[in-house]
Amino acid sequence: MARTVGMILCGGFGKRLRPITEKIPKPLVEIKDNYTILDKQLFDFKSAGVDRVLLLTGFLSEKIQERYDDEYLGVNIEYIREDEPLGTLNAIKLGMDSLGNHEQSVIRNGDVVADLNIKKMIELGKKSDYPLSIFITKMVSPYGIVEISGDRLVSFKEKPILDYYINGGVYFSQGEIDFGEFDVGDIEKTVFPMLAKENNLGYYKEDGLFWMAIDTTKELEEIKKEYKNREDKPWGYEKVLIYTDKYLTKELFIKEGYQTSFHYHRMKDETMYIVNGAGYIEFEDRKEYFGKNDTIRIKPTEKHSIVAMENTILHEVSTPHLNDTERVKDYYETR
């Protein structure tokens, strides 16, 4: 079976994030205290079963190596440094030179934070008729929009999801990429249009998930707000929405094909409200299947695991016992 290797493009100057990026490379920018963009990306690779990652570095490469050395969360890390910045194409070429004959790769832009299901992208990419696949997702308008009818304005919509797809900055390659006659420049402007014209470019699509490229200070502030009460998990994330002395509300996002630990709560009495998705809650003696708009109550001391058959968002409303979780069995190694 072909092994999948991760690659992360970490060599950019991050000019639009200066002065922050004058002393640290953009992938080491923190999205919450002591948690960087690159921490999140390596965590996602580990959660998807990718245990070898090539960091394609350049500007302030030594800062990245100081933080991670040759291992992070059990992921083996190698550094490929581009001495002269010649664009993403050249950096990826250097990375490809380090792959074995039977190794495939997932390539990521080093400034993207996204909740996509890398494991599923790999599985589908291996079965694809196309040698290279691009992750695409629907575009969120950076501005609010207005709707008009005749000569009047009838409504406002705040930053809606548009009916267009964007390149999400994550790519799966079944083997060596055909670079054609291109040696330098950005792969998105050179090789990708060539492969699309030759009908050799596929895509992996996920809609409705969190995606952001951290390119400006405005976007950095937005991602910090997202992560203020959020903790990434091997299966997705957990976010505190409301916490008072009377009740607690959390949002859980569980990726398709993943499940939470098998666990219980000593005191917490909770009800799950399924916002989107489908799956089941596995108890010791039964399974309770759920779909959109369903509710499921979980009493104190009931051992359970939440299993997602589709990307699932649920709201967990409970008594105010924030850290009342006893894990019986874990299914992942990234904790």
Per-position DSSP letters for 33-74, written without gaps between them:
TTEEHHHHHHHHHHHTT--EEEEEE-TTHHHHHHHHTTEETT
How many angstroms separate the CA atoms of 247 and 57, rounded?
46
How many angstroms separate the CA atoms of 142 and 331, rounded?
38
The 10 Å Cβ neighbour count of residue 136 is 17
Q: Which of 15, 23, 157, 159 is catalytic?
A: 159
CATH class of 232-329: mainly beta
Report phi then psi at 272, rounded to 5: -95, 125
242-300 per-position pLDDT tens digit: 999 898 999 999 999 999 999 988 988 999 999 999 999 999 989 999 999 999 999 99
Query: In the chain, what are the domain boundaries?
Result: 3-226, 232-329
28-82 per-position pLDDT tens digit: 999 999 999 999 999 999 999 999 999 998 888 889 999 999 999 889 999 998 8
Q: Establish whether the linkage from the previous residue to 85 is cis, with ω within 30° of 0.
A: no
Give the DSSP H or E segment for 281: strand 279-283
The 10 Å Cβ neighbour count of residue 18 is 11
pTM: 0.89
Report which of residues 319 and 15 the model is more confident about. 319
Q: Hey, which residues does 173 pair with through a beta bridge?
A: 105, 132
159 catalytic? Reply is: yes
Confidence tier at 305 by pLDDT (50, 70, 90): very high
How many angstroms separate the CA atoms of 200 and 294, rounded?
42
Confirm or reject CATH 3.90.550.10 for domain 3-226, answering yes or no: yes
Please give the C-alpha separations between residue 172 and each of 32, 62, 255, 330, in angstroms, as whole numbers.
28, 27, 19, 28
Report phi then psi at 199, rounded to 5: 60, 40
Q: What's the confidence (pLDDT) of residue 321?
A: 79
How many angstroms separate the CA atoms of 143 and 157, rounded?
9
79-116 per-position pLDDT tens digit: 998 877 777 888 898 888 888 778 899 999 999 999 99
How many angstroms separate the CA atoms of 182 and 153, rounded?
49
Amino acid of residue 34: N
Amino acid of residue 68: Y
